[in-house]
Amino acid sequence: MIGCTRTASLGCVILLVPFLFLTVASGANAPDRQVRVVLRYDDPSAITDTEMETKLIGAFREHAVACTFGIVPFRYVGPPTDTRSQEELPLPPKKAELFAVAAREGLLEIALHGYSHRAHNPLSPRPSEFAGLDYAEQRQKIQRGKAFLEADIGVEVKIFIPPWSAYDSNTIKAAEESGIEYFSADMRGPADSSSSMAFLPCTCSLTRLKEAVASARTAPGPDPIIVVLFHAYDFLESDPARGVMTFDQFKETLRWLTDQPDVRVVPMRSIPGVDSHRYALNQRLLTTPRHLPRRLRGPVYPLVLLSPEGVRIAVHRQKPVVRVIVFYGVLTLFVGFASFLAVSLALARMALSGSKFLLLSGPALVAASIAWTFHEGYFGGRMRMIMTAAGAAGYCIGTWGALLRQKCRSDKDVPDYPFRHGHSPS
């Protein structure tokens, strides 16, 4: 009887385990799970449209939300390629007062967006105000910009946003050394595991905000975060050529956002636990599938910053390494098989010089593909490179396989003369 009870208990436990697992797993998407959204508006400075900034603050007040303003303290106004020009305009007191009042109301969170937003490498394909400069120069720029904004607006500045999201390890150290606590760029930059700063990169634009919220709802793990980046030029009233929405449509978007019961619009500094480890995990989650064609990438969440637990579940679902191995393995085999057939057919009508050419063309193709990938001086287009290398490797396998097969056949076709066994021909 006792044995039966024990067996029944064990059976119950075994039956319950999958349900317990399902309960834990679905807990990630429980109804009380919230999506946090940070609004980040870059570039306000001495030369930007104060009327637009006033209207934005009014919209934030109307919807009771806060926005992180990435302000340029000394806006450079000279020609981008003139390295001697020092034409910099400090944020004027009137505008500083507008921002100060809004910051005291809790509508604005003040962030330092560079020093003058001037590229020290204007001819580079990726402009940068900080990346590439030495540590001391970067620290001086951050400290001077931060001190100016704090004095001008009268608030503590703890957030740094590098212009063009371009930064390096010196920028991270200089920002931390200057008292910065939150570092916000995009998902491309390096993460310093020794840094104690929070890393909150922008994850989407205004036009993809609804898509990002939908993605965050289905994303695994707790605490999905969205950082929406926008600029004055996103508004058709400011820039009819680049604008993506009218100001009324923006207000409509804010209304929609604040109507979502599971969405909270919060200031950047209210979000704890977004360390460099979490940033690096998200970056890695997005990097591996980039080596695959878009349709084969599996579930990815490029518009959302997932929690470490969310990344772990996403990697488990995505199986990126398996996908990469299977895709490039199949590609190599396919090219190898096609090359084998084509070369086998060609060899039937080919002279010896032709087969030598085929033997050498495979390695030459591999060398050419590597040279092509690196011809711009950096390791770009990884997917392009891996596809080319896999194709070239398949070509080598197919070509050499066909040549080897032909050699084996021709060896077999040699007549078995008696003198091979020690008899003299008569």
The residues binding Zn ion (CB under 5 A) are: 42-43, 163
> What is the torsion angle, in degrees rounded to the nearest 10, for the CA atoms of residue 82, residue 87, residue 68 and residue 98?
-160
Q: In the complex with Zn ion, which residue's Cβ is closer, 76 or 328?
A: 76
Q: In the complex with Zn ion, which residue's Cβ is closer, 42 or 109?
A: 42
Using an 8 Å Cβ cutoff, are 385 and 369 in contact?
yes
Least separation in angstroms between residue 255's CB and Zn ion is 27
390 contact partners, CB below 8 Å, separation of at least 6: 328, 331, 332, 335
| Helix, strand or coil, per DSSP, at residue 276 | helix
DSSP codes of every residue in 30-56: -TT--EEEEEEEE---TTS-HHHHHHH
Q: In the complex with Zn ion, which residue's Cβ is closer, 112 or 392?
A: 112
Least separation in angstroms between residue 225's CB and Zn ion is 21
Residue 289's nearest CA partner among 301, 297, 277 is 297
Q: Residue 230 forms beta bridges with which residues?
A: 41
Q: How many residues does the chain have?
A: 426
Least separation in angstroms between residue 177's CB and Zn ion is 22
Q: In the complex with Zn ion, which residue's Cβ is closer, 242 or 255?
A: 242
Q: In the complex with Zn ion, which residue's Cβ is closer, 202 or 304?
A: 202
Least separation in angstroms between residue 68's CB and Zn ion is 13
Using an 8 Å Cβ cutoff, are 176 and 195 in contact?
yes
Residue bearing tokens 């063009």: 164
Residue 201's nearest CA partner among 304, 127, 126, 113 is 304
Least separation in angstroms between residue 44's CB and Zn ion is 10
Q: Residue 75 forms beta bridges with which residues?
A: 89
Least separation in angstroms between residue 134's CB and Zn ion is 22
Maximum CA pair distance of the chain? 115
Least separation in angstroms between residue 117's CB and Zn ion is 6
Q: In the complex with Zn ion, which residue's Cβ is closer, 117 or 291?
A: 117
CA–CA separation, 262 vs 264, rounded Å? 7
The phi and psi torsions of 3 (rounded to 5 degrees) equal -60, -45
Q: In the complex with Zn ion, which residue's Cβ is closer, 42 or 88?
A: 42
Q: In the complex with Zn ion, which residue's Cβ is closer, 43 or 109?
A: 43
Using an 8 Å Cβ cutoff, are 320 and 289 in contact?
yes
32 contact partners, CB below 8 Å, separation of at least 6: none
CA–CA separation, 277 vs 195, rounded Å? 10
Q: In the complex with Zn ion, which residue's Cβ is closer, 73 or 163?
A: 163
Residue 359's nearest CA partner among 388, 402, 412, 411 is 402
Least separation in angstroms between residue 133's CB and Zn ion is 17
Q: In the complex with Zn ion, which residue's Cβ is closer, 163 or 220?
A: 163
Residue type, 189: G
Residue 186's nearest CA partner among 176, 172, 200 is 200
